[in-house]
Amino acid sequence: MTVDPSTQPPTQLSSDIIAAKREQIERLLKRLRAGEDFSTLAKEYSEDPSSKENGGELPEFTRGKMVLEFETAAFSLSEGQISDVVSTVYGFHIIKLLKQTAAHSLELSDKSSSTNLTIAEELRQVLTNNKIRKLAPAYVKRLRSESHVQIIDAGLKVEDDALIASRVN
């Protein structure tokens, strides 16, 4: 069950709204601990459009797929256990671990559980994307220089300069 998440970190909320959301999720946690159904409460109160209709249920995920605070809480639970309130950049969350899958070895020819690709194809994709991310800034810089590209809009120029500076560091 999640309060105030989205696919992108939300814009900063006022301290009054944050306090109200914190109070709301604390009340929901008390109701869960008193025996109310997680799925029913999630369908009614969750603000996460991707899991609300499923009663707060998320697809199975592995380490490294969620923000650290959420992941740390989720992987510390036992099956059926409900977490305390977890705070992330996406908002406040209550996690109930439904099922824990034991780690197991895979062959490169096995299909990934999260995509329709083989492990080898998925690995190739990750390595290719990492290489592109590493090489693209220098390539774009060279193309801009050769083409004599100038950004005239002051706002875009500031954004572009900040982006270039972040890649240099």
Which of 3.40.50.12500, 1.10.10.10, 3.40.50.1820, 3.10.50.40 would CATH assign to domain 2-93? Answer: 3.10.50.40
169/122: higher pLDDT: 122
Average pLDDT estimate for 129-139: 89
Are 91 and 10 in contact, with CB atoms under 8 Å apart?
Answer: yes
- Where do the CATH 3.10.50.40 domains begin and end in the chain? 2-93
Are 101 and 75 in contact, with CB atoms under 8 Å apart?
Answer: no
Q: How far apart are the first and last CA of the chain?
A: 38
pLDDT at 161: 80
Average pLDDT estimate for 28-40: 96
- Top mean-pLDDT range of 31-45, 99-113, 140-154: 31-45
Under the banding of pLDDT at 50, 70 and 90, the label for residue 3 is very low
Average pLDDT estimate for 27-49: 94
Q: What is the pLDDT of residues 48-100, one digit of tens each?
A: 888 899 999 998 888 888 999 999 999 999 999 999 999 998 899 999 999 98
Under the banding of pLDDT at 50, 70 and 90, the label for residue 167 is low
Reply yes or no on whether the pLDDT at 137 is more than 70.
yes
pTM for this one?
A: 0.61
For the chain, give the DSSP string: -EES--SSPPPPPPHHHHHHHHHHHHHHHHHHHTT--HHHHHHHH---TTTGGGTTPPPP--TTSS-HHHHHHHHTPPTT-B---EEETTEEE--B----PPP----TTSBPSSSSSBHHHHHHHHHHHHHHHHHHHHHHHHHHHHHT-----HHHHHHHHHHHHHHH-
